Amino acid sequence: MVDRVEKAGLRVETALARFVENDVLAPLGMDAGAFWQGFADLLAKHAPTNRALLAKRDELQAQIDTWHKERAGKPIDMTEYKAFLTAIGYLVPEPGDFVIGTANVDPEIATMAGPQLVVPVLNARFALNAANARWGSLYDAFYGTDALPDAPLAAGKGYDPARGAAVVAAGRKFLNDALPGWDAALTGGACPHAFATLTGGAKGVMFEHNGLYIEIHVDRDHPVGATDELGISDVVLESALTSIIDMEDSVAAVDAEDKLLAYANWLGLMNGTLTAEFQKGGETMTRSLEPDRTYALPNGETLDLPGRSLLFVRNVGHLMTNPAILLPDGSELPEGIMDAVITSAIARHDLDGLGQYRNSRAGSIYIVKPKMHGPEECAFTNTLFDAVEDLLGLARHTIKVGVMDEERRTSANLAACIHAVKDRIVFINTGFLDRTGDEMHTSMQAGPMIRKGAMKTSDWIDAYEKRNVAIGLKHGLSGKAQIGKGMWAAPDRMGQMLVEKVGHPRTGANTAWVPSPTAATLHALHYHQVDVFALREAIAAQGVPAIERLLTVPLADGVNWSAEELREELDNNAQGLLGYVVRWIDQGVGCSKVPDINDVGLMEDRATLRISSQHMANWLLHGVVTEEQVMDALRRMAAKVDAQNAGDPAYEPLVGNEDGCAFQAAKDLVFKGVEQPSGYTEPLLHAWRQVKKGAK
């Protein structure tokens, strides 16, 4: 029996109510009674709108499904298709010329270009690692990864001098390319890039290039510095300028217990008290937030720079509800509304200077809002944030919003979506996996889709990526907001990342997602190779790609796959689906390095699951594969996933446990995939996770 207490007609889980009142409101000097009454009034006004918007999604989807069914077997006429989408309100008129009016934005978001980390809020150690990833050792990143393909990895446990020499050489090449004449600053000469001198424990010089700082550490007593002709012991790069502390796709939070941990960790980041203990080399280590960094300027003054990444918090979208708080009618409250209120109240600790460090020096709260469908839903978020600001006594537009361009209706109406939040928007980005999942679900009834791997080179995805940047630039995001690109999912393949991910800044995007602090340091090299802001004028001049390309449905017209190709595709999808679901359902792990079918570790979250399950559901619907073939793939891949997790003592095998929650959830995600709202995986995952937690 869940212990609840009534607050202004709301039935709140007791531990959550105690946390909100004692840990969040009391330090802010806010009256708890007034807060709960205001929260209840806010829900009474906005929860019905939330439900109506979800009903609108279903209504539009039903009309699109009917349109495709009536034209089964016929090619899609783009003129007719666009007219239909306009008539039903799926496509809306362009808002005309405008520029965003967002103010009080920190430079890490508005005027700087660099990597962005995304981490699950439920894992305190990971969250701290991300917050501390603002600065990273280039030498360590080179030494410990495959980033130097022509140099062998370190041999043995001790220091490998050969590997070290290769790292130093790579570091020298970077410095020579980015900072011509840099060595003069270490030998008593003048260097135009030299900016300041390091103080405190580290000695050396700080440089500036493309708006990012570079530290050269000098220590002749260090094992590396002792062998360097200039005594250089390390090169440290400004790396993850921003990080997203995620309460959505990368976490398994299904009830008050989970949400309480999420909010507590967010509070610990905002007030500087979060710590995490872990074992390393047989010793217990404690991680906490890094302090700010101080430098000595040539004029005798000092310069303080943030020691930490600027933090966003990603709230839940509009779809899900949560039993942590029940409305007066006994129904669960919309989880996204709860997140907006509580994460903003927690972030007010930062604005009020109650923490050990400052997150936003500009006085803003940064919330990423995912999975919004079109400008109506963006406008609702804007209105909701107005109400949260009023509840918490914040000035209008203190709460900034990041719009995830990951749903088809948002992509097709991106300018109107930006316009709906034009005075608080600080972020747009693209996300291949969720966007592909929605692409498939929206046109589910149109016919069988191309293979999953072919999606990356299809016409719609190219238009999607280019339109996102072009529309953002057209409406004044440059200098006021981030334009971002998606995740590099393979944390063990840094050499490949160095080759490929430079493409993201070359699009004009001033940030892109990376899976680890090490990846952030290596991806930072790309922002020294590419001056993003200098590129933008030329990119903007290319204009916005036609919407017809974006709306091209990726159908596999006339393709007859071989039995081997069908088996290969099913196995790939089934393995990825099971590998993720078994950890989510059984262990409550929302994001981890999951081996793919080729045993390559990939950082996966619910977006990965959405595309795999929707692809299998699509092929099943159109008779490309049978139910028996799908079940055969699930059973064979269950054995593979079991083998891949054999070393995990907490792992519960899938083979021989088809009645277990994890395997049942995997089946539902495929066989009930067509009927899931927008193809989302959350309703089924949450339901089966709650069953599993109840069983435990």
Query: Could you give the count of Cα atoms lying within 13 Å of 628 in the half-sphere of its Cβ?
Result: 0
From 287, 314, 409, 583, active-site residue: 314
User: Any catalytic annotation for residue 409?
Assistant: no
Tell me how crowded residue 312 is: count the other CB atoms within 10 A of its CB: 25
* Residue whose token pair is 């690692």: 129
**Residues 235, 175: contact at Cβ < 8 Å?**
yes
Residue 504 gets which letter from DSSP?
H
Per the residue annotation, which of 255, 258, 434, 605 is the catalytic one? 605
Q: What span, in angstroms and rounded, lies between the C-alpha atoms of 489 and 491?
A: 6
Q: Checking DSSP bridges between strand 194-198 and strand 204-209, what pairing results, if any?
A: antiparallel
DSSP 24: I
Assess contact for 115 and 241: CB atoms under 8 A.
Answer: yes
Q: Is 339 a catalytic residue?
A: no
Cβ–Cβ < 8 Å for 579, 651: no
What are 267's two structure tokens?
A: 């509070």
Distant-in-sequence contacts of 617-620, Cβ < 8 A, 24+ apart: 617/444, 617/670, 617/671, 617/673, 617/674, 617/679, 618/440, 618/444, 618/448, 618/449, 618/673, 619/448, 619/449, 619/569, 619/570, 620/670, 620/671, 620/673
Q: Which of 696, 692, 695, 690 is nearest to 324 (CA)?
A: 690
Residues 6+ apart with CB under 8 A from 227: 161, 164
Residue of 200, 343, 366, 349 lying closest to 272 (CA atoms): 349
498-531 b/e with 16+ CB inside 10 Å = b? beebbebbebbbbbbbbbbbbbbbbbbbbbbebe
Q: What letter does residue 210 receive in the DSSP assignment?
A: T
- CA distance linking residue 153 with residue 151, whole number of Å: 6
Active site residues: 314, 605
